[in-house]
């Protein structure tokens, strides 16, 4: 790859790293380590396709790679984790704002969706893609993408409506 193209790729990654990582966290159900792996793997694929997609839509390309890889990864039963003898100390509880709490609650609910529904909801509402674009990323007909989104949103509403009632 020529030097100018390599510089463009570096700029693209630097400008979009945090957005891609956040998208990956949503696609992997909140697992930060799997999300980082997903972004890295997707950027490697983008690197090889960069001369072809740099002038067109590199963000759409990497989004499609991420959504498909996340769906494939979710079908795996084992990701290579190993049990440890001693668990790490949990993080100290700090002052958590209502916004962070609500976002965490939403991410936990997203993690409970099936991978295709989760990907469809995230692409449609977080990435603000049209139904046709969601279908293109997922590699399915528009009607199927629409169905994944509708079912995912309905399930999210049910999950988020289940409020734990106080005891006593």
What pLDDT is recorded for position 90?
66
Q: What superfamily in CATH does domain 3-76+98-161 come from?
A: PhyR, sigma-like (SL) domain (1.20.140.160)
What pTM was estimated for this model as a whole?
0.55
Confidence band, pLDDT 50/70/90 cuts, at residue 94: low
pLDDT tens-place string over residues 104-156: 888 888 889 998 999 999 989 888 888 998 999 889 999 999 999 999 999 99
Provide the phi-psi class of 29: left if phi over 0, else alpha when psi is between -120 and 50, else beta.
Answer: left
Query: Band of the pLDDT at 164, cuts 50, 70, 90?
Result: very low
| 73, 74, 76, 82 alpha-carbon torsion, rounded to 10° | 90
Res 8 pLDDT > 70: yes
DSSP annotation of 125 reads I
With CA atoms as reference, report the closest residue to 103 among 150, 148, 160. Answer: 160
């Amino acid at each position: 790859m020529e030097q100018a193209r390599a510089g463009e790729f570096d700029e693209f990654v630097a400008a979009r790293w945090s957005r891609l990582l956040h998208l990956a966290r949503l696609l992997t159900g909140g697992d930060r380590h799997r999300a980082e792996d997903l972004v890295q793997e997707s950027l490697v694929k983008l690197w090889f396709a960069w001369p072809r997609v740099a002038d067109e839509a590199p963000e759409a390309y990497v989004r499609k790679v991420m959504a498909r890889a996340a769906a494939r990864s979710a079908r795996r039963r084992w990701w290579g984790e190993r049990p440890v003898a001693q668990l790490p100390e949990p993080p100290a509880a700090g002052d958590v704002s209502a916004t962070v709490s609500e976002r965490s609650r939403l991410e936990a609910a997203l993690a409970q969706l099936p991978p295709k529904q989760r990907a469809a909801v995230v692409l449609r509402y977080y990435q603000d893609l049209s139904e046709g674009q969601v279908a293109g990323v997922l590699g399915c007909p528009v009607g199927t993408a629409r169905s994944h989104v509708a079912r995912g949103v309905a399930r999210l509403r049910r999950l988020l409506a289940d409020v734990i009632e106080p005891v006593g």
